[in-house]
Structure 1
């Protein structure tokens, strides 16, 4: 019996390891390429990402929110940073100046996040994320992430050159077959096998990809360690970029609320104020470290909801094992370098199947909304505006002021802000109505 428990925990931990890896490896590579860093420095970003992500997951599981929810580099932050890199020439900034300004903004946002946690402000903020806001957030996040994964399945590299923006039919055919296999295995297989569908899909797909297309090669480079690898925060700092970073850091709080609220049903209890407080404090500390190490800041991954629903494994021990193993791999360049040869198309195919489950979470929140005319407008406006903005080319926003492009050109960011704004307007409209109702009731009582 003890052997079976150990084997189950080990396999589940290995599955968590691949989930952490596939969600992490692309981010430092694309950020390093966007800043024009040498291969040795990009390898440093990759290894730091592995170590910090693994330790962050273990810390959140045992000291923070105490749930099996991945703590990783935020997709919202990732999009903002890449958008700022693209806009740097029009801002009159060199990439090192941009990196230094971003580092300062990330450090400030990290301190603010720590204060939110320490001062107990997370609970009041959580009230802003009503079912209407969460429904829009979950749906838009699923669309944004699955767009990235579908591009990966098609063989289109994120942050690559024009040659990498071409669909590769052979790559897509194999990736689609892997995605279909994982989906069917998850639905049709016995629970004991279905819970490891993601692991089976990654390992089997990787082997098939190697047989059909050959082994991936990774350019070697001497590791270049150093603080603030994207740019030193000394002189030439841009106040506008710092301001955008602080705003992005505050809106990034939506990931914490989304992840914890999204797993309330899985853990059969609502997250308490203490869980929010500890989670924000740890995320803030990680943001400070991210600014110093040139990494994308951290947040709990809402996509963990889909993973937990897919695998039906919510125990913390396998999650912590996977996190510690991931951190250990980051300390061994040979192993981390080998893992970076995992084909992006295979990882994207498996993650696509996992993140499709976000639709279920979104529909659950939609089901909590009374769909009268006013609520339809309040949910439809941010939903459709966010989706439309996601599909617009970056060139459409060239006429906007440079500092507004990263904000207004991010459909996920605009959708969340619009949903919060419209929901606050609804709350303010309700308060006078409730006051009038109470007054009328008191008058009727006096007349009686």
Structure 2
């Protein structure tokens, strides 16, 4: 029995490792492309990303919120930084100017987050991020991530066309993981994510041997503030600062969802400790050109898929990721994992996140009036996600990053409506 438990822990740790790695590796590569970084600088940010993502996971699981929740690069801030980097030519600023403004804004947001934790202002922040705001956030986060991974698993070419053979393989991986999850015995179902990655990787190498690795080693070049030294580009600072504070949604939504899933009630201290660590990592991230960290709400989908809630495999997975970041040959090996395979597996894992969002509205009675507090915001956010950023190019540069991010706009409007509209009154009118 003891050897069986050890085997389960070992396989669970590797499953966590691949999950965290698949969620991490694409982020520094995409940021490097958006800010036109040299390959050796991009490799440096990737190695730093692996090392500190592992460290952040271990610290959060050990002394922070103490749940098996991945501490990873914020999807919200990732989108904001990509939008700002890609919009550099249209707003007349250089990459270093935009990157420096982002660094200043994020450092300021990290300091404010530390202040919120240090002075125990959690209750005041929770009044802003109400349950309905969290519900809107969960729905929009689900759509944003599913869009990313669905497009990623299709292997879209530089010409914008679908790579049909790769797409067929991705669909096969999705079906395999889904069947294992739904129909397989628990001993197999719990490791459906890991099985999907390994089987998909093998078939990809057999079917597309000419593709090779996604990224080769070029020799990392270390530097501080690779995206740009902190400056006073106030428009960029304002956007980054606001997005950094809005990133607190992740902490509250993740801890609340994890506590409900595991079946306990999160203590006030867990929120406070988690925010303190997130604030510290947010200040530190710009120093190495990284997207700031946050507890991954999408980890809930992973936990629901695997049904393994113990912390030990999660902590070991984080340690393994840090070790890999410190040993270049390991990075070179894992960097050959096809991104399309990772996207296909994560697509299935994150379908569970929709269930988390759906469950968050249980017990809420909607009328023809009060449905607006959810439907309008979610549909506006999803609509903005599907509008090309260039459509807003004739608007002021300060507004463009907001309007091109459906997640930010949906949550922002939700906060305004929850504070300005007495929804209880409308509910009573229909009783």
State the secondary structure of the residue aligned to 1:156: coil
Matched, 1:231 2:228: yes
Corresponding position of 2:109: 109
Kindly tell me the number of residue pairs found equivalent between the two proteins. 426
Equivalent residues of 2:216, 2:332 under 8 A apart: no
* Mapped partners of 1:140, 1:111: distance in 2: 27
* Mapped partners of 2:196, 2:28: distance in 1: 24
Comparing 176-185 and 114-123, the one that deviates more:
114-123
Equivalent residues of 1:132, 1:369 under 8 A apart: no
How large is the Cα RMSD of the aligned pairs? 1.7
Corresponding position of 2:260: 265
* Mapped partners of 2:233, 2:363: distance in 1: 44
* Mapped partners of 1:324, 1:374: distance in 2: 50
Corresponding position of 1:47: 47
* Mapped partners of 2:116, 2:132: distance in 1: 23
Over alpha carbons, which structure has the higher Rg?
1
Corresponding position of 2:273: 278
* Mapped partners of 2:306, 2:124: distance in 1: 32
* Mapped partners of 2:390, 2:327: distance in 1: 41
Corresponding position of 1:352: 347
Corresponding position of 1:219: 216
Equivalent residues of 1:154, 1:168 under 8 A apart: yes
Comparing 307-316 and 336-345, the one that deviates more:
336-345
Corresponding position of 1:74: 74
TM-score calculated relative to the size of structure 2: 0.95
| Cα drift, residue 249 of structure 1 | 0.5
Q: 1:296 aligns with which of 274, 291, 294?
A: 291
Equivalent residues of 1:39, 1:219 under 8 A apart: no
* Mapped partners of 1:322, 1:34: distance in 2: 29
State the secondary structure of the residue aligned to 2:156: coil
* Mapped partners of 1:94, 1:130: distance in 2: 38
Aligned runs of 1:7-86 on 2, under 5 Å? 7-86=7-86
Equivalent residues of 2:200, 2:341 under 8 A apart: yes
TM-score calculated relative to the size of structure 1: 0.92
Equivalent residues of 1:87, 1:402 under 8 A apart: no
Q: 1:187 aligns with which of 182, 186, 204?
A: 182
Aligned runs of 1:17-416 on 2, under 5 Å? 17-156=17-156, 162-163=158-159, 165-214=160-209, 216-217=212-213, 218-233=215-230, 237-416=232-411
Equivalent residues of 2:90, 2:393 under 8 A apart: no
Equivalent residues of 1:123, 1:273 under 8 A apart: no
| Cα drift, residue 277 of structure 1 | 0.4
State the secondary structure of the residue aligned to 1:403: coil
| Cα drift, residue 5 of structure 1 | 1.7
Q: Which runs of 5 or more structure 1 residues have no equivalent in the other structure?
A: 435-448
